[in-house]
Amino acid sequence: MSKADDGHTLEAVAANGLLHRRAFLRGASVGGAAALSFMVAQNAAAQVSATPPWMVVPGRGMEPYGNRSAFESHVVRSVSAEPGTVGTGASRTPHEHLEGVITPSALHFERHHSGIPNIDPDQHKLLIHGLVERPLFFDLATLSRYPLVSRIQFLECSGNGRANIGSAPEQATAGGLHGLLSCSEWTGVPLSILLDEAGVAPQARWVAAEGGDSAAMVRSVPLDKILDDAIVAIGQNGERLRPGNGYPMRLFLPGWEGNASVKWLRRLKVTLEPVMARDETSKYTDLQPDGRARMFTFPMGVKSLITSPSGEQRMFGPGLYQISGIAWSGAGRIRRVDVSADGGRTWGEAELTEPVLSKSMTRFRIPWRWDGGAVILQSRAVDETGAAQPTRDALLSERGLKFNYHYNAIQSWAVTAAGEVGNVYA
């Protein structure tokens, strides 16, 4: 047990200073608790005027489409393109700078197989054909007249976090390591309605989805997923999709590996069998130790990530902090997240911030008194099915070192006595 300055009791729940998750919420004055996620470089010598310049002249005019403060321009995605290409590659969401669960659309991760097409919506149609009674075209204007649904859900590339399969921990930020994950409010038309209109043949089992980019990327999706909760998304966070996320329309498959949510959707072919496209055979298949590979490994496993403190951040010094992070599962809601400050020996339950939604990101937080010593922070999520996030050792023992996709192990951050935070295997 420890005492805050004003005398309110702060209950320790695990070793190395983890406090009861509701210590802040109970109204105990624990002033000085720091979150690193919104940290900005501060000039300690700067004098703050009682009459700053922006109080003595009128502010600037309004803008039709808003921009963030110029002082926030350091919050950006890390972008990497493959050699010899401009737009084949990925950009990663900087989770170390974000709070809450909605990823700003401009910071949503992207993974492209041949760049971002500049699609004129008047020149774009979706064709549904194959094992249907009536092949049909739909365009953006048409789809906008269908019953729409909106859901806050995550999208994660199945390659997210794969760097941690490597033999030595790569030093990078939370977003650099796990930023092929984002969460948006997606608005669209349930595909069950469109397929019903086309009239699916009874023997149909799969749907091949094709993108309208210059890779014309294809994934085969089981029909039962399409009829369960798939949508043709036309909106993201209240506005139309961003070009990098499939404008004017994309497939969205809640909880499943991002690659299968085909962007710039132009064609859905209802079939008996998978078409065995390049991106479901030579890519996005999980190689086992014995040399065989698992294919159609669609659902994303339960996972969590402490975003503050996290890799490449610096602590302010000993004192009270709020550990903050995100948890998600392709199987449904997050039931619980535990946090450890001693490398996984003792755990304290974190507070889940409402809303806790199915196949969405959930924010967790827990207060922590850092005494200035070296510690290892971890988080471990459990979803509503009871599935628990594995340790790195357990995951690699089960799956080997070559699987490359669906890495969902516990992330360990080492905090040194000097206040530096880095990626470690623990």
Partner 1 sequence: MFTLRTVLRAALIGALTGSPLAVAQDGPGLGIPASAEEVAAWDLTIAPDGIGLPPGSGDARRGAEVYALQCIACHGAEGSGQPSARLVGGHGSLAGDAPVKTIGSYWPYATTVFDYIRRAMPLTQPQSLSNDDVYAVTAYLLHLNGIIDDDDVMNAETLPRIEMPNRNGFIVAYPTLRD
Q: Looking only at residues 116 through 175 of this chain, which bind partner 1 when binding is defined by CB under 8 A?
A: 125, 127-129, 134-139, 142, 145-147, 149, 151
Q: Which of 11, 99, 185, 197 binds partner 1 (CB under 8 A)?
A: 197
Nearest distance, CB of residue 288 and partner 1, angstroms = 8
Nearest distance, CB of residue 208 and partner 1, angstroms = 6
| Torsion sign (Cα): 7, 13, 14, 18 | negative
When the beta carbons of 13 and 157 are compared against partner 1, the nearer one is 157
Are 99 and 324 in contact by the 8 Å Cβ rule? The answer is: yes
Nearest distance, CB of residue 144 and partner 1, angstroms = 10
Does 293 bind partner 1 (CB under 8 A)? Our answer is: yes
Q: Which of 84, 168, 354, 418 binds partner 1 (CB under 8 A)?
A: 84
The residues in 205-224 that bind partner 1, with binding defined as CB under 8 A, are: 205-206, 208, 210, 214-218, 222-224
HSE-CB for 45 with a 13 A CA cutoff: 0
The residues in 323-362 that bind partner 1, with binding defined as CB under 8 A, are: none
3-state secondary structure of 422: strand
Nearest distance, CB of residue 402 and partner 1, angstroms = 6
DSSP 354: S
The residues in 351-410 that bind partner 1, with binding defined as CB under 8 A, are: 401-402
Q: Which of 101, 200, 302, 305 binds partner 1 (CB under 8 A)?
A: 200
The residues in 175-194 that bind partner 1, with binding defined as CB under 8 A, are: 189-190, 192-194
The closest alpha carbon to 96, from 323, 360, 391, 321, belongs to 323
| Torsion sign (Cα): 370, 355, 190, 187 | negative
Q: Which of these ranges, 14-22, 72-80, 155-163, 296-304, lies near partner 1 under the rule CB under 8 A? A: 296-304
The count of other CB atoms within 10 Å of the CB of residue 276 is 12
Are 117 and 158 in contact by the 8 Å Cβ rule? The answer is: no
What are residue 368's DSSP bridge partners? 18, 321
Q: Which of these ranges, 157-165, 292-300, 311-319, 416-424, lies near partner 1 under the rule CB under 8 A? A: 292-300
Q: Which of 277, 341, 387, 426 binds partner 1 (CB under 8 A)?
A: 277
The residues in 99-118 that bind partner 1, with binding defined as CB under 8 A, are: 113-114
Size of the site for partner 1 (CB under 8 A): 76
Three-point CA angle 168, 170, 172, nearest 5°: 165
Are 38 and 140 in contact by the 8 Å Cβ rule? The answer is: no
DSSP labels for 104-128? PGGG--EEESS------GGG--EEE
